[in-house]
Amino acid sequence: MNVRNGAKVVHGATIDGGFWKVYRETVAREGITYQWKALNDEIPDASPSGCMRNFRIASGREQGGHTGFVFQDSDAYKWLEAVAYCIRWKGDEAMEALADEAIETIAAAQQPDGYLDTYYIINGLEKRWTNLKNNHELYCAGHMIEAAVAYYQATGKRRLLDVALRFVDHINSVIGPEEGKLHGYPGHPVIEMALMRLYEVTGDEKHLRLAKYFVDQRGQEPLYFREEDKKRAEKNSWGTMEYYQAHKPVREQTEAVGHAVRAMYLYSGMADVARVTDDETLKAACVTLWNNTTRRRMYVTGAVGSTEYGEAFSFDDDLPNDTVYGETCAAIGLVFFARRMLQLRPSAEYADVMERALYNGVISGMDLDGKRFFYVNPLEVWPEACEKDPHKKHVVPQRQKWFGCACCPPNLFRLISSLEDYVAVEDDGTLYVNLYAKGTLNACSGALKFAVETDYPWDGAIRLNCLSDQPAEGVLALRVSGWCKKYTLCVNGEPVKAPMTDGYVRLKRAWKADDQVDLVFDMPVRYVRANPRVREDVGKVALMRGPLCYCLEQADNGDSLHLLKAVTNGETRIERADMLGGITLITAQGEKEVVSPEWNDTLYAEADAPATVPKTLTFIPYYAWANRGLGEMSVWVRS
């Protein structure tokens, strides 16, 4: 097998200030503790989890039945992964001791042959591996592997890593191309990405081969899930194999279909395998699926998955705002996919989408205190409709303490706490900076080392100070965001013109200590329109500034947001405000329709165009909505 690395994640990056430090501290200070309480059913009035209790029952330490979903184990693994990143970032002896205790609880449930899944250990091992399509054994295994690798890299401790390695050996003995094995693949992908991380840590090609097998085998005839259904005399739960992205081999798939989270995880694993094996056909499939996802099926907030039915993609340009699903996990999955596409080929297009999702559709899933969460992330909310319209019951207008199906909160924690892994990639002596955050970059074996100063995303000024001990030749490639129409670039105070390739300005020089680079993006308020194919948004605009999408909220603009109009050629003002954790507000000229009293008892009538009155519209960043009580919200406004 031809093995290569492609662009590597810059693991020598840190985030130590600014916008993202606040979020990371919230996760480390509040989120980790809060989730641990949730996993142990210690949050009053929250949906029960039973997660850690399941492990104790599976190990014989307690008596009882399995609680929660078939994938309940994965919540503990995602919690451990987030803990690992927090320890890596700032260290915490108490947190590490708690994690070690949790790992021992998990390890105690492992079976003599390496198997570990509490649902089947408690309910009957004779049924294991009989329902790869729906019962998430490989999904849970994938999250265990990701946690094990992260914890080993953060602490050097092998306990969970050894548990994961034993489980992977068991999986290899059961599933694969050889005669006598199951020729299956996961119903919910994630193990593909996880195995690639395991391969990068261990260098053992059997992990690469298994990841590649899962990717290559998916959708091959005879369809494994269909054959599995026949053995169980079961009809397919969702009607078609598109729901599982198993309707055809992955290299033949051209549209993002089915369950949106599964799709994003699958495509991420495909990109990992394509990069390491240098598989051009698989790379091409990733590009095709990326283009369809981001150019025809993605919201302005970076959310993906437009329909509640199956938590899924629907069809091109179908992007309803008030019935959108937009699962937090799906936006997180898009970030995973984007980072891996950047490793295939550094291009600002991928980083732009990663940034869009992070600042909007991802962090909207958590309140500013890190204790309440959205599963669904709508772009328009009318609370009464959410309560009374059964088609909008899934759109909850206020964040919840926890969920019975709690995949999103721990997913948020593990992404936010690992965010330095998304800042930059390096390849062949070039450092590609993809996200701008206050901190440090240390790449190319220490040859390119910079301190980054910025108040991004509130301000477009980024300063990089070289910290390299010795002069070193290298290329610093800085992403110019797709939304930016004008920028300035200076080196040591002198304006420079640098070549741009794939959306990066490239500075090649012998870098020495105290070299200073200043990149300043012009950051005006932008009125953004959707392609006319998107029927929901015709005649409407969304306000954006920098990477942030803004929205109207009832708390600032009163009710009946549907009666408001934006004056797109009017004046806009930006103002830093000491509210919602410290944000930049946008105020803009607008109008509000005057509703005549004659309409009180009339549903339809001949009438002139309604009169309007001037009204100042106040917009807040979309991620911050629903932090001030129940009310209407809208991203898109008539113009």
Interhelix angle for 328-344 vs 348-356, to 10°?
160
Burial of 319 (0-12, 13-18, 19+ CB in 10 A): buried
- Contact (CB, 8 A) for 359 and 623: yes
| Marked catalytic residue, from 86, 329, 407, 408 | 407
Interhelix angle for 328-344 vs 408-417, to 10°?
40
Q: Tokens 């948020």 belong to which residue?
A: 412
- Contact (CB, 8 A) for 157 and 149: no
| Residue 531: how many other CB atoms lie within 10 Å | 11
Examine the residue annotation and report whether 252 is marked as an active-site residue of this protein. no
In which region does residue 176 sit, left (phi positive, over 0), alpha (psi from -120 to 50) or beta (all else)?
A: left
Examine the residue annotation and report whether 311 is marked as an active-site residue of this protein. yes
Pair of tokens at residue 466? 């070289």
Residue whose C-alpha is closest to residue 3's, from 258, 148, 207, 182: 207
Residues in contact with 45: Cβ distance below 8 Å, sequence separation at least 6, in sequence order: 401
**Cα end-to-end distance, the chain, whole Å:** 56
Q: How many degrees, rounded to 5, is the angle at CA 339 between CA 82 and CA 406? A: 35
Q: How far apart are CA 638 and CA 567, in angstroms?
A: 9
- Contact (CB, 8 A) for 207 and 195: yes
Could you tell me whether strands 472-479 and 430-433 are parallel, antiparallel, or unpaired per DSSP bridges? parallel
Residues in contact with 125: Cβ distance below 8 Å, sequence separation at least 6, in sequence order: 111, 115
Beta bridge partners of 466: 450
| Residue 414: how many other CB atoms lie within 10 Å | 25
| Residue 351 backbone dihedrals phi, psi, to 5 degrees | -65, -35
Alpha helices (H) along 325-441: 328-344, 348-356, 383-388, 408-417
Q: How far, CA to CA in Å, does 560 sit from each of 84, 431, 563?
A: 46, 49, 6
Pair of tokens at residue 203? 């260098």
| Marked catalytic residue, from 96, 311, 327, 553 | 311
Q: How far apart are CA 409 and CA 413, in angstroms?
A: 6
| Residue 307 backbone dihedrals phi, psi, to 5 degrees | -125, 140
Name the 3-class secondary structure at 465.
strand
Residue whose C-alpha is closest to residue 546's, from 627, 472, 465, 487: 487
Q: How far, CA to CA in Å, does 387 sit from each of 306, 382, 392, 410, 627?
A: 20, 9, 8, 27, 19
User: Could you give the residue numbers annotated as active site?
Assistant: 311, 407
